[in-house]
Chain A
Amino acid sequence: MSTADRLSVDFVPLVRGLISPTTERQREHRRIIGLSIPFILLAVFGGIIPLWEMAKISVSTSQFDTGGFTMEFYRQLLTVQFGFYVFNTLWFATVTTIASVGVGIAISHALEKYDLPYEGLLVTLISFPISLPGIVAAFMIIILFGNTGLVTNFATWLTTDAPLIGSVIPASSATDIAVATGIVGLFFGYCYSMIPRATFLLRGSYAEVNTDAEEAARALGASPLATFRYVTLPQIRPGIVGAFILTFRTATAIFGTVLVLKALDVLTLRISRLINVSFNIQGASAMSVVFFIFTIVFTFIGLRYTSAEVGGS
C-alpha cells in the first residue's frame, strides 16, 4: 500500500468525522479544533507570518523591497561589536535576575509564611509595578536617583549644613552623586520591573509547600534557616528555576527602561537604533531573528530539562 493510499484510508474518515461527527469522540475532536482555531489564527497572522517576513527581510539584498538572498547581515553579526552587545545583554540580565529572584524568594516567603497585617494590600502594592511599562520604571529611577532625585539630593544635602526643607541643592555637586543614568541606576530600573514578576511566579510554588514537614523539622529542633535550607528549598526549587528562566527572558527583552536611562548598550537598544537612526531594517531583522531563536531555545530547553515549573501551568 502506498503512502497516499494509507493516508486516504486514515484521513477520509477523520475529516468526515469532523464535518458530520457520529460518535462522542469525533465530536470531542471537533470541539478541541474549534476551540483552538481562534488562537491559531491569531498566532499565524499576528506572529508566524510577520516573523517569517522578518526572517526574509534579514536575508534581502535591498533595503526597501524584500527579495534576493544575502547572508551579509548575518555575517555582520560575527563581529566583536555584536559580541559586545550580546555580552552586555547576558551579564546584565544574569545579575538582575539573580537579584530579583533572590528578593522575590524573600517576599513570597514573608507573604506565605508570616501572618502579616494587611496582606491583601501588600500583594496589591507589590504587584503594582507589573502594570507599568519600562519607560515609567525608568522614570521612577530618575525620581529616586536622577540629578534632582530624592536619594541624590538627600545624599548631597548630607554634605551641607542647609536645612532639609526649602534649601537649594547645588546642581553641580548633585550630578556627581546621581546614579540614575549610570549602570547602578539601570540595575535598579531592571529590578523595579523584575522583582514583582519574580515574586508572583514564585508564589504558586510556595503555596504548594508541605507545611507539615516544615513544622516537624522545627519541632525536632531545626533552626528556621536549616528548615528553609533542607525542607522548604528542595520543594520550591523547580519553582525557583522556572521563575529564573522567565525573569531572565524578561530581562533580556527589556527595552523602554534602557531607552530612557541609556546606561548600557544592550541588544534591544541596538536593534531600535538600527531602525530609528539609519533604518537598517535588514540588520535589525537579522539581530531580531537571532534574538528570537535564542529566546525560544532558551525557554524550551530551560523548561524541559530542568524540571522547572511555570506558575499556573
Chain B
Amino acid sequence: MSDDTSNRTNDENARRTDGGANIDGFGTTDEESTVTTREANQSLSVRFGRQIIKGVLALTIVFLIGPVILTFISSFAGSWVGVLPSGFFTLENWYVALGYNELGTSRGLGGGLQYSVLLALGGVIINLIVGIPIAYAIVRYDFPGRDLLSTFAILPLVSGLILGIAFLRTYPNLSSSGISLIIGYSLLKAPFMVVAVKSSFETMDLRQLEESARSLGASWPRTFLTVIIPNAKQGIIAGSIICWTLAAAEFNFSYIVYSRGAKPFSLFLFSNISNSGVLQAAAAVSIYFLIVAAVTALLRASGTRGFTYGAR
C-alpha cells in the first residue's frame, strides 16, 4: 500500500516536471524508466480510455439491436439478394406469417399466439400466487434455511430442456391439454417474479408498515393483502410482464414437451426460422418483436427500465 502511494507521488512529480511529454524511456535509470512507462500508460488511458469503453458500448448496441431493426425492415421487402433487402413495400411476408394464404396454413400463425398468450397468462397467475409470498418471507423474516430457500427461489436451477425431459414421462397425459406447459412455464419463470417483487419489498420498511397496520387493528392477512401488496405494485407489475413475455416465447421446454394439439408460439417461430425463406421468417420473428416492443413500453410506463430483472 505504501509502495503504491510513493509511486503515485512519483507519477505526480514526473507529470509536473516534464508535462507528460517524455514518453521515451531511453537512457534513463531503472526508476526513471518505470515512471515514464507509467506516465505513458496514464496518458493513454486518460486520452483513449473513455473513447474505447464508449466504442465498445456503441458496437454492442449495434450488434444487439441492428439485426432486430434489419429483420423488421426486411419483413416488408420483396427480395434480399444484394447487401440490403429490396423491393419495398410488400405485406406478402406478413400475410404468409399470419396465415392468410395457402402456404401460411402449414407454417402460419394459426391459433398459436392466442394459445401461448393464455398458457403464459396461466403461468403468470401461478407465479403471482407462488412468488409474492416467498419473496415476502425471504425479505421480512429471518428463519433457518432462509438462504437456501432464497437461492432456490431466485436462481433458475433447472434448464427448460432438462425439465422438458423430466416432464415427458411424469405428466404424459397433460402435455396435449397445456396444463403441463403451464406448470413448467411457472416453474421456469418463477425466479424472475421473485427477484422483481423482492426488489420492491427491499425498498420498503416492511416491519414498520406491518406494525403500523396491525396497531391500527388490521389482522395480519388483511395487512398483507391491503397494505403490503399494494405497496409492492411496481415490482409485481414488472415481474408479471417479464414472466408473461418469457413464458409466451419459451422454446426449449415447449420443444421437448409438445406432442400434439395447438402449437405454442415459439414452435411457430422455430418452424419459420428453420424451414422458411429469410423474409418470411423475418415477418414471423417481427410478430414477436412487436409484442416485446409493446411489453417494453408497458414496463417503462410502470417505471421499470426494460428486461433488466430477466438477467438470471
- Determine whether A39 belongs to the interface, using a CB cutoff of 8 Å to chain B: yes
Of the candidates B126, B150, B163, the one whose C-beta lies within 8 Å of that of A42 is: B126
Q: Which residues of B contact A132 (CB under 8 A)?
A: 249, 288, 292
Known contacts A47-B187, A256-B251, A295-B157: A129-B64 contact under CB 8 Å = yes
Give the contact-size bracket for chain B. 35 or more
Could you tell me if B71 and A139 are in contact, using CB atoms closer than 8 angstroms? yes
Which one, A7-15, A70-78, A83-91, A105-113, is touching chain B?
Answer: A105-113
Of the candidates A66, A127, A255, the one whose C-beta lies within 8 Å of that of B308 is: A127
Of the candidates B54, B61, B130, B154, the one whose C-beta lies within 8 Å of that of A310 is: B154
Can you list, as one digit per residue, whether each of A30-41 has a CB less than 8 Å from chain B (1) or not (0)? 011011111101
Q: Which residues of B contact A313 (CB under 8 A)?
A: 150-151, 154
- Determine whether A18 belongs to the interface, using a CB cutoff of 8 Å to chain B: no
- Determine whether A178 belongs to the interface, using a CB cutoff of 8 Å to chain B: no
- Determine whether B160 belongs to the interface, using a CB cutoff of 8 Å to chain A: yes
Can you list, as one digit per residue, whether each of A160-199 has a CB less than 8 Å from chain B (1) or not (0)? 0000111111000000000000000000100010011111
Question: Mind listing 19 A-B residue pairs with CB under 8 Å?
Answer: A29-B143, A46-B183, A50-B167, A51-B162, A51-B163, A125-B61, A131-B242, A135-B266, A139-B285, A143-B70, A144-B63, A146-B278, A150-B70, A164-B82, A255-B160, A256-B255, A271-B162, A291-B162, A303-B151
> Considering the complex of A and B, which 7 residue pairs feature the smallest CB-CB distances, nearest first?
A223-B42, A225-B45, A127-B306, A200-B311, A46-B187, A50-B166, A253-B159
Q: Which residues of A contact B (CB under 8 A)?
A: 27-29, 31-32, 34-39, 41-43, 45-47, 49-51, 53-54, 57, 66, 103, 106-107, 109-111, 114, 116, 120, 122-136, 138-144, 146, 148, 150, 153-154, 157, 164-169, 188, 192, 195-201, 203, 220-226, 230, 246, 250, 253, 255-256, 259-260, 268, 271-272, 275, 281, 284-285, 288, 291-292, 295-296, 299-300, 303, 310-313
Q: A54-B169, A168-B81 are in contact. List 17 more A-B contacts (CB 8 A).
A: A31-B137, A46-B186, A116-B57, A122-B57, A124-B305, A128-B64, A133-B269, A136-B269, A150-B66, A153-B83, A165-B82, A221-B8, A222-B42, A224-B45, A246-B155, A275-B168, A310-B154
